[in-house]
Chain A
Amino acid sequence: MNNALMRTISILAVLVMFGALFGCSASRKPGDRDVVSGKGKRGSNSSDSSLRPWEVEGNPLYNRIVYFDFDKSDVKNNSRDLITKHSTFLAKNANIKVRLEGHADERGSREYNIGLGERRSQAVRRLMLFQGVTDRQLESISYGEERPAIEGHDEGSWAKNRRVELVYLN
């Protein structure tokens, strides 16, 4: 091996080393997408100029999170308006599909919380079916407490984590 090549390799190696170190220490805020504001990257594979209605701030479909009380899965009265807006839109757009992701706060057992998240997403699903959305447009899933919106251990965080997220799949 000649000297020049050896030097190039060593410079590259140093760069890789720094990259590795930097990579190890770099950190980001929790979560890949901003769940709390409802801004999701999912389903937005088109350019900015052709945003889906649920991606436009101020649009009635922009709010896509339904909150629940502790250990409860009944839809609260103040969430019905939000759900009705999505149901009305979906009833008119039969080709659009939504995944209802149920979540729970971290208190209690993890597997019971999977059940609780499932019950919450099913409660939203039943209401939307009643409002004219078809069964094939909706899928219920539950993450339980495995995917918190906020990684806090207080009532403020818990209230934000007891939720069903409406995730548009188109």
Chain B
Amino acid sequence: MNKVIIKYSVFFLLLCAFAVSHSALKIIIKKVPGNIKLAIVPFKVTGSASQDVSAIINADLSMTGKFNIFDGSSLPSKPSTVAGVSSSAWGRFQNVVIGNVINSGGKYTITAKLLTSTGSVSVKRTINKTASRSSLRLAAHQVANAIFKELVGIPGVFDTKIAYISSVKNNRGRRITTLITADFDGHNPIVQRSSKNPLMSPTWSPDGRKLAYVLFKSNGRSSIYIQDVRTKRRTLISSFKGINDGAPSFSPDGSRLSLTLSRRGNPEIYTFNLRTKKLKRLTFNTAIDTEAVWTRDGRSLVFTSDRTGGPQLYKVSASGGRATRLSRNGNYNSRASYSADGKKITMVHRYEGKFNIGVMDLNKSNTIRSITTGRLDESPSFAPNGSMVIYASEYNRRGVLWIVSEDGKAKNRVVLPEGDIREPAWGPKRR
């Protein structure tokens, strides 16, 4: 009895200490039927599995808005072999996923088959994965990637990571901000850094191994750090007088970081060479110049400036010189983020008085379309395959994230059990 009480006391103390930082995100998927029909049959499990593999695949594919998924009671039966799928009963689904998960002493083998069921039933793709207990979730995401690639024609992003900031009140009512990395669907959260002062602007290095971010000190001064995601070892990059912020961003080759400093009295864009430690100033005027991101060739940067009144997007050469205006629609466009192919930019875009997420297709007209209808949407970031955008917004007075399809049709809400989450940054393609 005594031992039990002691044990539980320690448990409660630990719960108190870690509740703030270790909460996993929850995704609320709104199933929006897409064009590609797909039946997902629950996989046959031999032994026991720590993860529901077919449910993970189903959730991944459901989020994209590209599939019209049939599952559960809408299926005629639950076959685990090709012979169990007849074209008469399954033809209307067009595509069918069946599979097996075998647990042999903690070593998992997944065999998934993507079938075409129109006309005669044939195997379109067989996907084999082996995994340990801890990598089973990742293996399930990789099966979803292969199915996505086969049916959509572009790589899936279900094995990628995101970084984000949480803000949760501690037991003294004080807000604690935490920089977290997690799987794209919020699982496996890892605390990178926590502070009672604001943390902001996380951004990934192109190889996905490092994060740059901004941390405030108690005296209100800010600093930029670069941190190794795995070892959590960090390097102080900049702590000049004035602001050290403006959404730092790595150049595509990872050798330079763009940042905003006001050490000369006004927010200006600089690049910092991570090897030579040399700063180069790119903007010279009395406006706010901030939020620079690199073009895919690393030769130019797109940034926010209010030099004509309200914030708009401009482009400047990485070697300096005159900036040209990119955004023309609306009176507020800020915080650009490129798609990996460099063909699109997503940004905060004010439309009819509300702050939406906009997408600009880079062509002659550079027209911006709103892909969201929120009131306080911000911090958009493309998935590495360009098919989805993650951004932050307010929902029922809480800070939440949304993962939406690039056309804005499929919307999935990501919430923390308590407190606010914000500033998501979608990591690069897994290497």
Contact = CB atoms under 8 A, between A and B. Distances in A.
A74 to B, nearest CB: 12
A16 interface: yes
A112 to B, nearest CB: 5
Contact of B265 (A30, A101, A110, A122): A122
Interface in A1-58: 6-7, 9-10, 13-14, 16-17, 20-21, 23-30, 32
A155 to B, nearest CB: 11
Contacts of B19: 24
Interface stretch (A77-85, A87-95, A135-143): A135-143
Nearest to A117: B243
Contacts of B198: 143, 146-147
A108 interface: yes
Interface string B266-294: 11000000000000000000001111000
A27 B174 CA distance: 9
5 cross-chain pairs, A with B, having the tightest CB-CB distances, nearest first: A28-B173, A115-B288, A141-B220, A146-B198, A109-B335
Interface of B: 1-2, 5-6, 8-9, 12-13, 15-16, 19, 169, 171-175, 198, 200-201, 216, 219-222, 241-243, 245-247, 260, 262, 265-267, 288-291, 304, 306, 310-311, 332, 334-335, 348, 350, 355, 375-376, 378-379, 394, 397, 422-423
A16 B17 CA distance: 13
A21 to B, nearest CB: 6
Contacts of B15: 20, 24
B290 A20 contact: no
Contact of A109 (B2, B172, B334): B334
A142 B246 CA distance: 11
Given A10-B1, A21-B12, A108-B332, 13 more contacts: A28-B173, A108-B350, A109-B304, A110-B200, A111-B201, A114-B290, A115-B243, A118-B266, A119-B288, A139-B241, A140-B262, A142-B220, A147-B198
19 contacts: A14-B9, A17-B8, A17-B9, A27-B169, A32-B173, A32-B174, A106-B376, A107-B355, A108-B378, A109-B304, A109-B378, A109-B379, A110-B200, A110-B378, A111-B291, A111-B304, A140-B262, A141-B243, A143-B198
A111 B9 contact: no
A18 B243 CA distance: 44
User: Which range holds the interface residue count of chain A?
Assistant: 35 or more
Q: Is the interface of B mostly helix, strand, loop or mixed?
A: mixed
A32 B222 CA distance: 20
A10 B171 contact: no
Nearest to B291: A111
B173 A143 contact: no
Interface of A: 6-7, 9-10, 13-14, 16-17, 20-21, 23-30, 32, 71, 99, 101, 106-112, 114-116, 118-119, 122, 139-144, 146-147, 153
B6 A9 contact: yes
A106 B306 CA distance: 17
Contacts of A10: 1-2, 5-6
Given A110-B423, A111-B201, A23 B216 contact: no
Nearest to A125: B265
B267 A107 contact: no
Contacts of B265: 122
Contacts of B288: 112, 115-116, 118-119
B242 A13 contact: no
A116 B260 CA distance: 13
Contacts of A142: 220, 243, 262
A146 B216 contact: yes
Contacts of A144: 200, 245
A24 B171 contact: yes
B242 A71 contact: no
Nearest to B286: A119
B311 A108 contact: yes
Contacts of B260: 111, 114-115
Contacts of B219: 99, 141
A145 to B, nearest CB: 9
Nearest to B220: A141
A146 B19 CA distance: 22
B220 A99 contact: yes
B358 to A, nearest CB: 12
Contacts of A111: 200-201, 245-247, 260, 290-291, 304, 335
A25 B172 CA distance: 10
Contacts of A20: 9, 12-13, 15-16
Nearest to A119: B288
